[in-house]
Structure 1
Amino acid sequence: MPSNETEPPIGSRGVLLHVGPHKTGTSALQGGLAASHDVLLRHGVTVVGTTAEQHHAARAVTRHSSTRGMKRIDDRHWTDLAASVQQVRGRAVISSELFDVATDDVISRIVDDLGPDRLQVAVTAVPLSSLMPSAWQQRIRSGFTVPLDDWLRETLDAHGRDEPARFWRRHRLDHVLTRWAAAIGPDRVHLVIGDKERKRQILEMFEQLLGVPDGTIVNPAWSTNRSMRRSEAELVRRVNTLAETAKWSAATHARFLRMGASHELTLRHRPGPEDPPISLPAWAHGQVHDIAASIVEGIERSGVHVMGDLDTLLAAPAQVEDPQTPGTISIEAAAHAVIGAARGGGAGILREKHVEPADLRKYPGVSSATTDLLKDELRRRGDLPELTQLPSDQLTAELRRRAKRRLRRVLGR
């Protein structure tokens, strides 16, 4: 651990940019950075912006738009964050897995905007064998309907193609590291390898990079973004299929399912041992191990700074009998899903005469639809086509008037 007299690994004015990728402990790290904001500042490290602001900035600069039902992000979110970094005189840190789809031209812009003399990049990593099932269930939360085995076959078959699928653009880590190393030099790119047996390992390695004492970055319980279990994922997948048949809009899905039912399940429900984590099926072990081995070889050739044991990335999944697709789910889990969908729709706040912005932040699904998505929904329903021609402010006012009128009818007022 660096002493007070020793310059931190990223330098006294370094900017540490954590670029993910997805499903590699990013939520725990971001929760820790947010919860430790004040104490980090006392050690000369500024967490630039809130977690949401960092995600918005990453989405803006990468022009990332794959999540169904999310608003389009204006470029000012990136320029504002970059300007805030320039105001920091000491060390700074930013974390968002949404940077993981950055192309070469986007990387060049990030380097220029954050300062080529200051920027250092961290990439987190976990074994591919555990990451792939986790990535699949994350897609299920966003509206995906393809079963795990089918998705695995499609994704593994796509590996090595000239035009890589988005999954491999994110998770072919040797290529990710090489792209960043080409822009800022391999000595300024850090691979941080997690260890499931040591929950704090990633936090400890970031403490080392930032040059702060052990234990500075806390790990609040609320920051954990656990993956859905097999029965939970199958429930959401089947509902996704029904929602797709019913032609739900992306905004409606985001509101009731992604930010509603599935969010509530992973936040509130505590699955028992009868519902184990989703695991890689036995038929995929060999192919996944071979790809992981080629990634490790590429990392060794890249010359980047490796923190942790590369052999961890070759860890084989536990040898368990491939489970059947669940046909049932516990009553408790189902209840959490129903409550989550209701909350996503605004239950508990829509009877209020005035809704505070803080309330909307508790239930992000309530405000997830953009004007364009609302217009699409109106067209789909055939609800007064002339409404779709209104400017956004008039459309919002008209929808508010109609909502109040409907509420008065429901409440008998």
Structure 2
Amino acid sequence: MADVVYLHVGSPKTGTTYIQDRLALNKSALARHDVRYPIGLRADMFHAALDLVERPWGGLLADSKGEWDSLVKRIRRASGTAVISHEILAGATREQVERAVTSLAPAEIHVVLTARDVARQVPAEWQERLKHQRRLSYGKFVRRIQKPRTGVAQSFWQVQGVTQVLERWSRQLPPDQVHVVTVPQPGAAHGELWRRFCRAVGVDPAWAPLDSVRRNPSIGVAESAMLRRLNTRLRRADVDHADYRALVRQLLVHDTLAAGKNKHRLTLPPQCYDWAEEVAESWREWIIGSGVDVVGDIDDLRPVRPPADEVWLNPDRARPRDVADAALDALVAMIEEAARRDDPDEHLSARVTKVAKRLRER
């Protein structure tokens, strides 16, 4: 059994994709220093985390049964230090946290949370929901997360509420075994988040020399508006989850829209920064009072207000021309991909045909 297990539990949109990919790229190099990243035959720990938190996730839960226990078995066969990392673990309930910690006994458990200021998390989380077929407007989303009793607010704070996540994951651990890694503000030196994460898990950054180019970048204002409208149309077409993941989330969003240039970045509405500062202060007070280990600058959790003369762009009122440009970029990418596929019965062109037929029928 590994002597020490670091559970990196998120939160989503805090550089977790980069961290996980760098751990995977340097898996063998880290093992030479007795640090294990036991992903097994899969590319990451998503299925193990999904098995623990038991979310439907577009029909993928059924394919994840037993994955958490398999991960634990790999850790039991390991020695030294093991690192578990996936952001959906942030949403685990108290019972699921207890299951995770108990299953890893008698190893010494440490919990690591990467945390970013709420002003950056709000637009990032809304865009992430769009990639999972949601259609709620940005304005309604922002208003609802400020009302704790709404369903949207509960699901948001379940994974993005720094204190809520830490309270669930740290209740069985002493403060020195709970680590908050703050995400640097824009302009920080390249790799600063990785260096902070390494300090939290006791790894020398030199042990993992291979850098990662994999990211989970946000899309722009017009691209977000286009995707929300597309989700409405696709719902009418009754597109299944697997097709949506392949055609929309991966091809259109990750490979095309997020990779495009000259995007106008989505930010928090200007009138919400007072609220964001109150949230940040409550996080700072809890973290300092709890005595947990902070890696990085705790003031990175404070939102940075935009310049007073900066024009805020509302995705709910995006310029039609910009939305049309985003839609055309998406259409070009879809046509190029369909043209590259030479087997219409099994590949993308068949899926495109099926979706187009459904839309025509409606």
Does the alignment reach a TM-score above 0.5? yes
Amino acid of the residue matched to residue 80 of structure 1? S
Percent identity of paired positions between Structure 1 and Structure 2: 25
Are the structure 2 counterparts of residues 164 and 225 from structure 1 closer, same or farther at C-alpha, using a change threshold of 3 Å?
closer
Q: Decide which of 278, 296, 300 is 1:308's aligned counterpart.
A: 296
Q: Decide which of 18, 26, 29 is 2:8's aligned counterpart.
A: 18
Q: Decide which of 306, 322, 337 is 2:330's aligned counterpart.
A: 337
Which residue does 1:384 correspond to in 2? Answer: none
Q: Does 1:229 align with 2:220?
A: yes
Asked if the contact 2:3/2:81 (under 8 Å) is kept, the reply is: yes
Amino acid of the residue matched to residue 278 of structure 1? L
Are the structure 2 counterparts of residues 210 and 169 from structure 1 closer, same or farther at C-alpha, using a change threshold of 3 Å?
closer
Asked if the contact 1:260/1:341 (under 8 Å) is kept, the reply is: yes
Q: Does 1:208 align with 2:196?
A: no
Q: CA–CA distance in 1 between the matches of 2:291 and 2:97?
A: 19
- How far off is 1:136 after superposition? 0.7
Could you list the runs of 5+ residues in structure 2 that have no partner in the other structure? none
Q: Secondary structure at the match of 1:227?
A: coil
Which residue does 1:351 correspond to in 2? Answer: 343
Which residue does 2:267 correspond to in 1? Answer: 279
Between structure 1 and structure 2, the one with the greater Rg is 1
Deviation sequence 1:295-349 (CA, Å, 0-9, x none): 22122222211111211101223232222423233887545523554688x7634
Q: CA–CA distance in 1 between the matches of 2:128 and 2:53?
A: 20
Asked if the contact 2:281/2:302 (under 8 Å) is kept, the reply is: yes
Greater Cα shift, 78-87 or 252-261: 252-261
Which residue does 2:100 correspond to in 1? Answer: 110
Amino acid of the residue matched to residue 300 of structure 2? T
Asked if the contact 1:111/1:184 (under 8 Å) is kept, the reply is: no
Which residue does 2:162 correspond to in 1? Answer: 173
Which residue does 2:173 correspond to in 1? Answer: 184
Asked if the contact 2:158/2:165 (under 8 Å) is kept, the reply is: yes
- How far off is 1:252 after superposition? 3.4
Asked if the contact 2:22/2:212 (under 8 Å) is kept, the reply is: no
Q: Decide which of 37, 50, 61 is 1:47's aligned counterpart.
A: 37
- How far off is 1:241 after superposition? 1.5
| Number of equivalent positions | 345
- How far off is 1:214 after superposition? 3.1
Asked if the contact 1:40/1:216 (under 8 Å) is kept, the reply is: yes
Q: CA–CA distance in 2 between the matches of 1:328 and 1:148?
A: 19
Are the structure 2 counterparts of residues 86 and 337 from structure 1 closer, same or farther at C-alpha, using a change threshold of 3 Å?
same
Amino acid of the residue matched to residue 234 of structure 1? A
Q: CA–CA distance in 2 between the matches of 1:175 and 1:136?
A: 19
Which residue does 1:252 correspond to in 2? Answer: 243
Are the structure 2 counterparts of residues 366 and 170 from structure 1 closer, same or farther at C-alpha, using a change threshold of 3 Å?
farther
Q: Secondary structure at the match of 2:320?
A: coil
Amino acid of the residue matched to residue 296 of structure 1? R
Q: Does 1:153 align with 2:143?
A: yes
Which residue does 2:319 correspond to in 1? Answer: 326
Q: CA–CA distance in 2 between the matches of 1:32 and 1:366?
A: 35
- How far off is 1:138 after superposition? 0.9
Q: Secondary structure at the match of 1:223?
A: coil
Q: Does 1:78 align with 2:68?
A: yes
Q: Secondary structure at the match of 1:132?
A: helix
Amino acid of the residue matched to residue 176 of structure 1? V
- How far off is 1:239 after superposition? 0.8
Deviation sequence 1:203-238 (CA, Å, 0-9, x none): 112322343333433564531111111111111111
Deviation sequence 1:52-79 (CA, Å, 0-9, x none): 44110000011022x4354534431111
Which residue does 1:264 correspond to in 2? Answer: 255
Q: Does 1:60 align with 2:51?
A: yes
Q: CA–CA distance in 2 between the matches of 1:151 and 1:210?
A: 35
- How far off is 1:185 after superposition? 2.2
Q: Decide which of 78, 100, 109 is 2:90's aligned counterpart.
A: 100
Asked if the contact 1:14/1:120 (under 8 Å) is kept, the reply is: yes
Greater Cα shift, 215-224 or 106-115: 215-224
Deviation sequence 1:268-311 (CA, Å, 0-9, x none): x3322xx3211111121111221221122122222211111211
Q: Secondary structure at the match of 1:158?
A: coil
Are the structure 2 counterparts of residues 148 and 162 from structure 1 closer, same or farther at C-alpha, using a change threshold of 3 Å?
closer
Could you list the runs of 5+ residues in structure 1 that have no partner in the other structure? 1-11, 368-376, 382-413
Computed over aligned residues only, the root mean square deviation of the Cα atoms, in angstroms, reads: 3.1
Asked if the contact 1:177/1:304 (under 8 Å) is kept, the reply is: no
- How far off is 1:266 after superposition? 4.5
Greater Cα shift, 252-261 or 37-46: 252-261
Deviation sequence 1:94-152 (CA, Å, 0-9, x none): 21001111111111110111225322111001111011111111111111112211210
Q: Secondary structure at the match of 2:172?
A: helix
